[in-house]
Chains A and B, each alone.
Chain A
Amino acid sequence: KNEVEQSPQNLTAQEGEFITINCSYSVGISALHWLQQHPGGGIVSLFMLSSGKKKHGRLIATINIQEKHSSLHITASHPRDSAVYICAVLRGAQKLVFGQGTRLTINP
């Protein structure tokens, strides 16, 4: 079993829908990252958080340290949001452990 589990693995939705991707982890962490991998393969860091909630545009990330759980929300989803979203937890100083990714497809 992976130390970091994401759900769902695949998600297809219609444009405009509210999207939630979940990440659960089983180890102690110092921070958690949400990453976006574009269809072309490039990876972009969306958020790094260690408590509470962060918002950037239509993206919202939350983390509950006690429950070892984080969620990534996308409001008013758009086809350009189609990508793989990856949760990664920071163990210790510099070691990132990755979830398996959630493939999101937003249909027009």
Chain B
Amino acid sequence: DTAVSQTPKYLVTQMGNDKSIKCEQNLGHDTMYWYKQDSKKFLKIMFSYNNKELIINETVPNRFSPKSPDKAHLNLHINSLELGDSAVYFCASSHTAGLAVVTGELFFGEGSRLTVL
């Protein structure tokens, strides 16, 4: 039973298109994240949601719009894709005590490799 699942795993698309990546966790966690890993394998946080509320928006272009329909889901929609958006996108979840410090370890999805041509 996969704890954090992302779909699709691979996504190849043309510049200018709009695409979505979905993420679901079955751990009962209250906080979910999107991270971007660039071609140099450097990870950087994009967004975090706590109980469906946006907590962190780390200077991500507004072409990226996260949507959290419920605590178990955090989807990432990207408009007008650019070449520089090519990366691996990781979803993760954890348990927090409200907005206090993350109390436990992070669980990551397997990543979604986005290639923009």
- A residues less than 8 Å from B45 (CB atoms): 95-97
Count of CB-CB pairs between chains A and B under 8 Å = 66
| Interface members, chain A 41-95 (any B CB < 8 Å) | 41-45, 47-48, 84, 86, 88, 90, 93-95
Contact with B along A29-40 (1 / 0, CB 8 A): 011010101000
Tell me the smallest distance from the CB of B3 to a CB of chain A, in Å: 11
B100 touches A93 (CB 8 A): yes
Tell me the smallest distance from the CB of B101 to a CB of chain A, in Å: 5
A93 touches B99 (CB 8 A): yes
B102 touches A31 (CB 8 A): yes
CA distance A48 to B102 in the complex (A): 10
B41 touches A101 (CB 8 A): yes
- A residues less than 8 Å from B40 (CB atoms): 100
- A residues less than 8 Å from B33 (CB atoms): 94, 96
From B11-19, B20-28, B50-58, B63-71, give the one contacting chain A: B50-58
B110 at the interface (CB under 8 A from A): yes
Tell me the smallest distance from the CB of A33 to a CB of chain B, in Å: 7
Asked whether A45 and B110 contact (CB < 8 A) given A30-B101, A86-B43, the answer is: no
15 A-B pairs within 8 Å (CB atoms) are namely: A35-B106, A41-B110, A43-B108, A45-B108, A48-B104, A84-B41, A93-B99, A94-B48, A94-B50, A94-B96, A95-B45, A95-B56, A98-B42, A98-B43, A101-B42
